[in-house]
Structure 1
Amino acid sequence: MKASRREWMAGVAALALCSVPLKGFAAIVAPKVPLKAKPLPLTAVRLRPSAYATAVEVNIDYLMSLSPDRFLHNFRKYAGLEPKAPIYGGWESDTIAGHTLGHYMTALVLGWQQTGNPECRRRADYIVEELALCQSRRSDGYIGALGRKTKDGTIVDGEAIFPEVMRGEIKSGGFDLNGSWSPLYTVHKYFAGLLDVHAAWGNAKALEVVIGLGGYFEKVFAALDDKQMQELLGCEYGGLNESYAELYARTGDLRWLKVAERIFDRRVLAPLEAQEDKLANFHANTQVPKLIGLGRIHELTGKEAPGKAARFFWERVTGHHSYVIGGNADREYFFEPDTVALHLTESTCEHCNTYNMLKLTRQLYGWQPDGALFDYYERAHLNHVMSAQNPATGGFTYMTPMMSGAARGYSQPGEEAFWCCVGSGMESHAKHGDSIYWEGDDTLFVNLYIPSSVQWQAKGVAATIDTEYPFKSDVRFTLDAVKQGKFALALRIPAWSGGKAAITVNGAPVPSAPTNGYAFIERRWKRGDVVALHLPLDLRLESAPGAQDVVAVVRGPLVLAADLGPSETEWTGVEPAMVGDSPLAAFAPMVSDRPRFQTAGIIRPGNLTFVPFYSQYDRRSAVYFKRFTEAGWKTEEAAFLAEQARQKDLAARSIDFMHLGEMQPERDHALTSELSYPTSYRGRNGRDARSGGFFEFTMKVKPGPLLLQASYWGDERSRVFDILIDNVKVATQRLENDRPGKFFDVDYPLPEDLTKGKSSVKVRFVPADRSSAGPVFGVRLFTAK
């Protein structure tokens, strides 16, 4: 059953039960709900010169610089084959080895689809052949490069953890499973890459390898009862439910759907199915792929609950947990809804989160086209994804800081970082054409105004977008060829345009009032027709969710930032504030090839230049500003500046900071522990240790008098613990529930002989007998005044 134009124009319910089959294969199992929209194939879209085209070109060069054989090192080694090249460093030399190969396969597929580069396809097929060979050397369908760490620190083949799991020996710590770093997350990357190769050009061997791998883990899960399965799923597993659902779609074998539905983390997903936002203090990117998986299960079964959970999650994250650039999370974790202003730190907006949120957005859009979905997509794609690649180097960010004056940190291709965000980065920047054009029956949707050309085979249409948007207001859409002339063109009219958009066809005005976020133009088109769209790009202020007095400056879809100078120069200024009743009136445009504004009198302590945030690759920025009236500023100025100075002073004297209870900081600081667990409270993450246990980590030191500062919650029940530096006790801390309702810091002076001549020390927290240590919500080492 096809959807009529009347349904488009009426704007059907946002949670219509419909689906998007993946491109490039004919699913044996078709979705049980009618199709509403699907993206035009990436192979049909070519980018024209723009920052997006440059990003793809730079990324393809980066992909070509990488060695498939180095990524395959452990796969061959653990299968009993001689590796052809040395293993990469960084995360690929840790127990999470192999995750990057999955990303790399997908990036090669997307790169081939976006550019037609034959080497991308050749490399992807080569990797599949190698993985098939590795699988043939094992008798059980398993392939893998992931490792496990022994007590002496040696990394060995991680496959051994899965027989342990089947016996019920499950030691899961959120990101650690029996001595391996998120192994099922890594396995999901194999699944995803192989499925993408199969979808793109029908590589049958890729599907054979996936089926063998799927069978192996089907047996692992079958050995577990429900309680054990939930314990296992407490460790990050990526979108493994989506992979099994997709395997069902490819093969029609119900066994895979049963596995997909069993991979359901009740602690996170049950509240979302009940339309409850309990996301605070959950690791953000761990959760997003789970919802994409639920969405795929909904598409294939028609079951309502998984689809409702995916939609509810999207609405809560984009509306209540996201920053102005479209990213989310602080230090990788969700915080309480509508508290963005309390989380403007140097560790915001992990790229992987936004990469996956955009995948979820595409999925929801296919169920029911709605311009609001692509208002978010455009915001995040332009301001976050495009900021996450440095086009001068090809490097990627992990975090994109929202803290004023913080510099972005990019991977350096020669350093072999291979963070998760390097993997998602190489995918993101291989496919900037994948969401511009969509089709729904006889309607062509244009969702992103990116310079490009497209072939719409269903109507024999070739078209081109020419524009300098979002720097300039005008978009020109030209019909270069038309075979079947009658169809509807749906142009997204962003909500921020405020009813001021204007459209002409061949110079004649046509109505532009949007329905469901689109202006629909239905006519019999001919070659040479030109549609011109004008979008007003006025400045506006947007408040952080939950804080009307904390604002960012936006122009159309483009977030602007105050330029605070080059990254290589230390920023020592005071966090800028915005003062005045009509601040936008004090922004004066500058002559430039892109939007640039100079302020006059409204930024304290001094005037600043505002530029597109995403392009601040090697420069420091201020995005959010505390806003004051003139009268309010006079009252608040002294306290505001004093607090900023205090924080600046502490930051300047800080040598090292340990974010306890968080994956990457704990790995970076070589944390070891026994009977110790991550915890969270009031939006802050921490760690405790139970009687008989401990936790210990490494921190940097400098010569001279130093202070160790630890943060605690004031309402803890009575507990006693010791703090040791290199096994020497420096303090005994007693918590007595004597500072209710607040966090507090305790400073511990360190004897100079404990740090003299050292570059680092080990900090250990040890509970007294029948007591607990902590929870400790962060540890800082800094110089004494």
Structure 2
Amino acid sequence: MAIGRRTFLMNGAALPLAAMPAAAIGAIRGAMPAKAKPLPLSAVRLRPSDFAHAVEVNRAYLLRLEPDRLLHNFHQFAGIAPKAKVYGGWESDTIAGHTLGHYLSGLALTHAQIGCTECATRAAYIIDELAACQAKNGDGYVAGFTRKRKDGTVVDGKEIFPEIMRGDIRSAGFDLNGCWVPLYNWHKMYTGLFDVIDHIGPNPKAMAIMTGLGGYIETVFASLNDDQVQTVLNCEHGGLNESFAELHARTGDPRWLKLAERIYHKKVLVPLSQKRDELANIHANTQVPKLIGLARLYEITGNPAHGTAARFFWEQVTRHHSYVIGGNADREYFTAPDTIAQHITEQTCEHCNTYNMLKLTRQLYSWQPDGALFDFYERAHLNHVMAQQEPVNGGFTYMTPLMTGAKRGYSEMDGEEFWCCVGTGMESHAKHGESIFWQGDDTLIVNLYIPADATWAARGARVGLATAWPYEGEATLRFDALDKPGSFPVALRVPAYAKTAELFVNGEPVTAARAGGYAIVDRRWKKGDALTIRMPLDLRLESPPGDEQVVAVLRGPLVLAGDLGRADGEWDRPDPAMVGSDLLAQFRPVAPEKAQYETDGLIRPGDLSFVPFYRQHDRRSAVYFKRFTDAQWSVEEAAFLKEQARQKDLAARSVDVMHLGEMQPERDHQLTSDISYPVSYRGRSGRDARTGGFFEFVMAVKPGPLILQATYWGDERPRSFDILVDNMRVATQRLDGDRPGEFFDVDYPLPPALTRGKKQVKVRVVPHDKNTAGPVFGMKLFTAKPAAASTT
């Protein structure tokens, strides 16, 4: 019988492990330490595995980048001649400079993880250059971001701060007075500088940069009243509260704590402190760093509301807003709780979100060790983070799509995109050893089964963890050296999905105590002792919260996916479904040591091979499946055939079709636009227009009553816009999310006089003030049916 998490936590009896000889029995103590901390990253060395390979590929990627190109704007705006041209992508936009902070973190973490001296040399060089730029500015300011004026001129981002200090504050969520998330940008720099100190060594210049810049930021905030501060904080600001909480912790200066506590975004954090989930329709990754910062403030101040908010947020996101791979959000936004089955798209699971959720998980775990926290950590780290890196050249995904047939899009090898997730990717794949081993009181804790060697300084121990997890369900911890032998507990995490667990010391079965999701062996340990755990890695199905008719397949911690073929091919077939009464019985192992299976009579329209999702870097995947009984499938097939007949009828009556968001059709239809962008969602291309913008294109017409049809997604946030044909408004369309989980069509009958005698018309889509128009996922012009024509 499976041991559930609740049973595991509440039942105080010994874990029913293998029978053991009396000589092998050690003392049983069923308690975990009150607090814990990880062994230093520099104390852990990975053994050969996919994780070690990811670190090496990432190291090569980091060393291909040129620090002087990342420093270009810092030099230029400080009045120092740049030493190299600026990078492209986001580094040539108004968010320029954010990558440098991530790069510093990536260098520092890689130095700690594998001892890369070149990484340490580069980090020191960058800090020297930042110090020179700050000295040249003369007031503590140092940054690389830019500001785009209303006339389109791009200037030093410093220009926005005198305006803000005068109370002239303008933001639509990501821009602040024409600059893209400047406070978020600074948070990345602070984190990078702290990481250099923590993982390479003390650096007075880095501390001086942070205190000097802190003084500049403090002056800006000092000029604002509380309401103005909240207006500024409506713009994404990362975890800048964490930056100043940490600066206070390291300097003891109360001014930084005061500033950290002032960077408190009430709109988001107050409801969470009151245990209210109001996350729907807000940008996901904007929020997670605020909670990491709030958790750090809780550690410093003990304010219980801060701790409550951090814990509640983690619980809600992991239990009600997360996909099977551990990621969250669709199109970067949270949806309503327990609705993710309606949001399985190609825009799921932004990597930055998971990067930050793992940081928050580590914080919460350090407060009170609980295996449930690392059940989530293992899932997200293995299935999302490991899927995020292209394992040959080191590119990174922005989103990790879960829609059937979608392919992963990786940043290019030359590094010209520099999305936010490129930055967090540099860090995630530099530190795969950071959470394997933990310590608390005199307890050694193993949280992740990743092959590695480590030094446990408290006991003068060198330990090795040998395992082929998650492909084999066994791991052995061996004390290769132990300068301080004696009695102490070793705790091994028993995941919630493990139905049983067997423990052995030096090959002999032992009984272990259990607490908080761990099997604990407390005995007198000596050099050469080995502790082995064996757990089954069974197949199981898991539904997303809120929809039992959708399932994903897992084997132990691994998410398995149906293999749909190479990513460079096309996918235009119906989504596969599972049909039957005992779904797991129709899986057959092909190569269990690689977690590969095939189905037998289970999948419609045809059976599939199932493989680990994270390894499908250049493949198309099917992760989520609708499940049907045979009777239900007959109904589903009938509905599919009916929809096919409807589409066939529309095609027969079609006059013109506009595939919005696709380059060639937009050129063919002479599209013009302003403040308008192509989008892709759920496999469909479309286009939107923002406040003050529009898009317009020509469509062919023919005599007779015509209908203009537009396609929308039914779960958009509220918005309104006008549709004009040859400058005549034919409709005002409002979208308010009242048709969740589906695309829908709206028909706009055109007055015959509007098209009479014409060969083409101009269709124009214009948003209302403070609104977005669309996205519109295509438009069609077709002839009305005779019955419809008689009523026109």
| Rounded Cα–Cα distance in structure 2 between residues aligned with 1:457 and 1:704 | 79
| Rounded Cα–Cα distance in structure 1 between residues aligned with 2:114 and 2:56 | 9
| Equivalence map 1:262-341=2 (5 Å) | 262-341=262-341
Higher relative contact order (CA 8 A, sep 6+): 2
| Rounded Cα–Cα distance in structure 1 between residues aligned with 2:701 and 2:146 | 41
TM-score (norm 2): 0.85
Report deviation, 1:11.
11
Partner amino acid for 2:601? G
Q: Does 1:136 align with 2:142?
A: no
Answer whether contact 1:710 1:777 (CA < 8 A) is retained: no
Change (3 A) 1:477 1:169: same
Change (3 A) 1:132 1:730: farther
Q: Does 1:185 align with 2:184?
A: yes
Report deviation, 1:711.
3.6
Report the counterpart of residue 459 of structure 2 in structure 1. Answer: 459
| Rounded Cα–Cα distance in structure 1 between residues aligned with 2:723 and 2:510 | 75
Answer whether contact 1:463 1:481 (CA < 8 A) is retained: yes
Answer whether contact 1:332 1:347 (CA < 8 A) is retained: yes
Change (3 A) 1:494 1:720: closer
| Equivalence map 1:307-706=2 (5 Å) | 307-485=307-485, 486-498=487-499, 500-512=500-512, 514-591=514-591, 593-640=593-640, 655-657=659-661, 672=675, 694-696=692-694
DSSP 3-state at the match of 2:224: coil
Larger deviation: 743-752 or 587-596?
743-752
Q: Does 1:197 align with 2:196?
A: yes
Answer whether contact 2:727 2:764 (CA < 8 A) is retained: no
Deviations 1:450-508, CA, capped at 9 Å, x for gaps: 0100000000110111111101111121110011122211000001102x111100111
Partner amino acid for 1:45? V
Partner amino acid for 1:130? E
| Rounded Cα–Cα distance in structure 2 between residues aligned with 1:502 and 1:265 | 48
Report deviation, 1:773.
8.4
Change (3 A) 1:703 1:138: farther
| Rounded Cα–Cα distance in structure 2 between residues aligned with 1:655 and 1:122 | 51
Q: Does 1:781 align with 2:778?
A: yes
Report the counterpart of residue 45 of structure 1 in structure 2. Answer: 44
Partner amino acid for 1:672? I
DSSP 3-state at the match of 1:267: helix
| Rounded Cα–Cα distance in structure 1 between residues aligned with 2:41 and 2:118 | 17
Report the counterpart of residue 57 of structure 1 in structure 2. Answer: 56
Percent pairwise identity:
56
DSSP 3-state at the match of 1:413: coil
| Rounded Cα–Cα distance in structure 2 between residues aligned with 1:435 and 1:738 | 43
Answer whether contact 2:320 2:545 (CA < 8 A) is retained: yes
Root-mean-square deviation over aligned CA pairs: 3.3
| Rounded Cα–Cα distance in structure 2 between residues aligned with 1:274 and 1:373 | 22
Q: Does 1:149 align with 2:152?
A: no
Answer whether contact 1:75 1:143 (CA < 8 A) is retained: yes
| Rounded Cα–Cα distance in structure 2 between residues aligned with 1:719 and 1:671 | 17
Report deviation, 1:698.
9.0
Partner amino acid for 2:390? N
Deviations 1:317-367, CA, capped at 9 Å, x for gaps: 000000000000000000000011100111000000000000000000000
Deviations 1:657-710, CA, capped at 9 Å, x for gaps: 59xxxxxxxxxx99639xxxxxxxxxxx99998xxx6333699x9999997736
Change (3 A) 1:431 1:703: farther
Answer whether contact 1:717 1:735 (CA < 8 A) is retained: no
Residue segments in structure 1 that go unaligned for 5+ positions in a row: 1-7, 13-33, 659-668, 674-684, 756-761
Answer whether contact 1:657 1:778 (CA < 8 A) is retained: no
Partner amino acid for 1:408? R
Partner amino acid for 1:463? V
Change (3 A) 1:601 1:35: closer
Deviations 1:720-751, CA, capped at 9 Å, x for gaps: 73548xxx637432359999878854367999
- Which structure has the larger Rg over C-alpha atoms? 2
Partner amino acid for 1:559? V
| Equivalence map 1:214-293=2 (5 Å) | 214-293=214-293
DSSP 3-state at the match of 2:549: strand
Answer whether contact 2:674 2:689 (CA < 8 A) is retained: no
Q: Does 1:734 align with 2:732?
A: yes
Answer whether contact 2:719 2:772 (CA < 8 A) is retained: no
Change (3 A) 1:62 1:418: same
Partner amino acid for 1:74? N
Change (3 A) 1:228 1:644: farther
| Rounded Cα–Cα distance in structure 1 between residues aligned with 2:110 and 2:259 | 31
TM-score (norm 1): 0.85
| Rounded Cα–Cα distance in structure 2 between residues aligned with 1:557 and 1:741 | 35
Report deviation, 1:629.
1.2
DSSP 3-state at the match of 1:202: coil
DSSP 3-state at the match of 1:137: helix
| Rounded Cα–Cα distance in structure 2 between residues aligned with 1:644 and 1:428 | 45
Partner amino acid for 2:731? Q
| Rounded Cα–Cα distance in structure 2 between residues aligned with 1:686 and 1:530 | 60
Deviations 1:168-206, CA, capped at 9 Å, x for gaps: 000011001111111111111111111222233011110
Answer whether contact 1:503 1:533 (CA < 8 A) is retained: yes
Answer whether contact 1:708 1:780 (CA < 8 A) is retained: no
Report deviation, 1:510.
1.4
Deviations 1:533-586, CA, capped at 9 Å, x for gaps: 111000000011000110000000000000001010001111011111101011
Report the counterpart of residue 26 of structure 1 in structure 2. Answer: none
Change (3 A) 1:686 1:780: closer
DSSP 3-state at the match of 1:496: coil
| Rounded Cα–Cα distance in structure 2 between residues aligned with 1:64 and 1:243 | 27
Answer whether contact 2:718 2:737 (CA < 8 A) is retained: no
Report deviation, 1:75.
0.1
| Rounded Cα–Cα distance in structure 2 between residues aligned with 1:403 and 1:124 | 39
Partner amino acid for 1:137? K
Report the counterpart of residue 82 of structure 1 in structure 2. Answer: 81
| Rounded Cα–Cα distance in structure 1 between residues aligned with 2:506 and 2:713 | 67
Residue segments in structure 2 that go unaligned for 5+ positions in a row: 1-7, 13-32, 652-656, 663-671, 677-685, 783-792
Deviations 1:189-234, CA, capped at 9 Å, x for gaps: 1111112222330111101000001110111011111111111100
Change (3 A) 1:739 1:782: closer
DSSP 3-state at the match of 1:572: coil
| Rounded Cα–Cα distance in structure 2 between residues aligned with 1:611 and 1:646 | 36
